[in-house]
Amino acid sequence: MTRAISAVKGMNDLLPSEVARWHALESTIRDVVQLHGYREIRVPVIEPTSLYVRSVGEGTDIVDKEMYSFVFHDEPLTVRPEGTAGVVRAYVEHAIHAKEPVSRLYYEGPMFRGERPARGRYRQFHQAGCEVFGDPGPLVDAEMIDMLVGLLRRLKIQNVEVVLNSLGGKGTKARYRERLVEFLEPKKDALSEDSKRRLQTNPLRILDSKDPKDQAVVADAPSILDVIDDDDRAHFDGLRRHLDRLGTPYSIDPRLVRGLDYYTRTLFEVRGQGGELGAQNALAGGGRYDSLVEELGGPATPAIGFAAGLERLLLATAAEPPRAHGPVLVAPLGERAQAEALVLGRELREAGVPTIVEGRGGSLKSMLRRANGLGSPVALVVGDGELDRGVVQLKDLAAHAQNDVPRSELVREVSALLAARAPGGAEGSAG
């Protein structure tokens, strides 16, 4: 046999047996964000490399090490590592700011980062994200965090923890950067090699380094909340007041910086526990990026957004989705019956009943085995005898019962039977 080809490391197939859970998750997310007035935007998965270099920023792990970048006909391109930059590009390119004062947009789809694969960390993964343009907050910041917590509650994810920080605006960020470098410079030798480099390029990143050497050094670092200016402090206090009023619990971590450069002011991360979620417990993260629209060529526009990782949400929700039953199987016995089976299949589908016609022939026993494999609630058997009598044999597989139904009554009878079995139907049950 020829040697088979495997998928790229860190990139997963989602087989049909798993997709039902994805659909349920995606539809819950859609429900929740639409209730909050967000509208979907779909942007390309490939963008000019410069978009990420200018937004996510040089000196970040994403831009320095993780991007799938290539040159195509002299054009440097990157397969998107995150969603916000592309949405901002589209917002500016289509002058959406000129059409509405505030835009609430959401997106969903695959993202690509060349990280070391582990449980909950992949090279192709999926994010759902929301962005609000044109609203400076802090009310909308609180509403967004509360929406996210509400979403996780609806998904029955336990032990959700909201961690909050403020990076301040440009002034605060610059002042803090100086203070941090002053603090770290004398301790430089104790830092990891990566962080020695970051000290020049992106010192804030040292704060969320996973390296124990760095963690020991930054344990006593000055807090950004000590140097934050008055406006930024008032914004942060406002956010906290709104969250307190909503009863949304949070903790403050002045060392939370997260891996992207474009953040200003509000920064948050939502962590979970339980299910099969292991060490990769960050379910969603986001923050304000009040300068990014302008930096990417649009008018000065305050903005805030977050992205949630769908694989991690699924790992955190252990519960099985309600199992939908499979399609009805039409089992023709013999050639004459096959033609009739095709017509019957079409009629059932026209009535909205998912139906598969067994086309491989074979014995009744093997066809019923297939019906069981498909999870069919009903098998419809047609042979010469049935054709002559103008009936079809209806096998109710769940109830282990069977009876002959006149051909003219069949579609109505099958539809009624399935409707009664559906969740919420006359015989419906929760399971």
Amino acid identity of residue 149, one-letter, is V
Minimum Å gap between C-beta 284 and ligand AMP is: 5
Among 221, 307, 328, 397, binds ligand AMP (CB under 6 A): 307
CA atoms of 123 and 112, how far apart (whole Å): 5
Minimum Å gap between C-beta 343 and ligand AMP is: 48
Minimum Å gap between C-beta 126 and ligand AMP is: 8
Q: How many residues bind ligand AMP (CB under 6 A)?
A: 18
* Binding of ligand AMP by 125 (CB under 6 A): yes
Among 309, 327, 332, 377, binds ligand AMP (CB under 6 A): 309
* Binding of ligand AMP by 311 (CB under 6 A): yes
Considering only the stretches 19-27, 49-57, 116-124, 194-202, report the one whose residues sit in contact with ligand AMP under the rule CB under 6 A. 116-124
C-beta closer to ligand AMP: residue 284 or 333: 284
In contact, 78 and 71? CB cutoff 8 Å: no
Write out 111-154 in H/E/C secondary structure.
EECCCCCECCECCEEEEEEEEEECCCCCHHHHHHHHHHHHHHHH
Minimum Å gap between C-beta 118 and ligand AMP is: 9
In contact, 185 and 198? CB cutoff 8 Å: no
C-beta closer to ligand AMP: residue 25 or 397: 25
C-beta closer to ligand AMP: residue 283 or 304: 283
C-beta closer to ligand AMP: residue 214 or 269: 269
Among 106, 122, 268, 289, binds ligand AMP (CB under 6 A): 122
Considering only the stretches 50-58, 164-172, 226-234, 283-291, report the one whose residues sit in contact with ligand AMP under the rule CB under 6 A. 283-291
C-beta closer to ligand AMP: residue 120 or 138: 120
C-beta closer to ligand AMP: residue 159 or 403: 159
DSSP string for residues in 214-249: HHHHHTTPPPHHHH--HHHHHHHHHHHHHHHHHT--
Residue 277, φ and ψ in degrees, nearest 5: -70, 125
C-beta closer to ligand AMP: residue 269 or 386: 269
* Binding of ligand AMP by 208 (CB under 6 A): no
Minimum Å gap between C-beta 187 and ligand AMP is: 27
CA atoms of 259 and 278, how far apart (whole Å): 20
Bridge partners of 252, per DSSP, are: 164
CA atoms of 386 and 407, how far apart (whole Å): 9
Minimum Å gap between C-beta 351 and ligand AMP is: 42
CA atoms of 27 and 35, how far apart (whole Å): 12
C-beta closer to ligand AMP: residue 137 or 309: 309
* Binding of ligand AMP by 137 (CB under 6 A): no
* Binding of ligand AMP by 312 (CB under 6 A): yes
CA atoms of 298 and 319, how far apart (whole Å): 44
Q: Which residue has the tokens 């995150």?
A: 82
Q: Which of 423, 332, 411 is nearest to 370 (CA)?
A: 332
Considering only the stretches 217-225, 276-284, 337-345, 385-393, report the one whose residues sit in contact with ligand AMP under the rule CB under 6 A. 276-284
Q: Residues with Cβ < 8 Å from 328, sequence gap 6 or more?
A: 348, 353, 354, 355, 356, 376, 377, 378, 379, 380, 414, 418
- Structure tokens that stand for 327 in this block: 């399609």
110: left (phi over 0), alpha (psi -120 to 50) or beta: beta
CA 99 to chain centre: 28
Minimum Å gap between C-beta 327 and ligand AMP is: 33
Among 80, 89, 113, 407, binds ligand AMP (CB under 6 A): 113
* Binding of ligand AMP by 87 (CB under 6 A): no
Q: Which residue has the tokens 């305050």?
A: 302
* Binding of ligand AMP by 205 (CB under 6 A): no
Q: Which of residues 55-84 bind ligand AMP (CB under 6 A)?
A: 82
CA atoms of 146 and 240, how far apart (whole Å): 12
* Binding of ligand AMP by 86 (CB under 6 A): no
What binding mask, one character per residue, do residues 242-261 give for ligand AMP by CB under 6 A, x or -? -----------------x--
> Helix, strand, or coil here: 212?
helix
C-beta closer to ligand AMP: residue 120 or 332: 120
Q: Provide the binding-site residues for ligand AMP, judged by CB under 6 A.
A: 82, 113, 115, 120-122, 125, 127, 259, 282-285, 307-309, 311-312
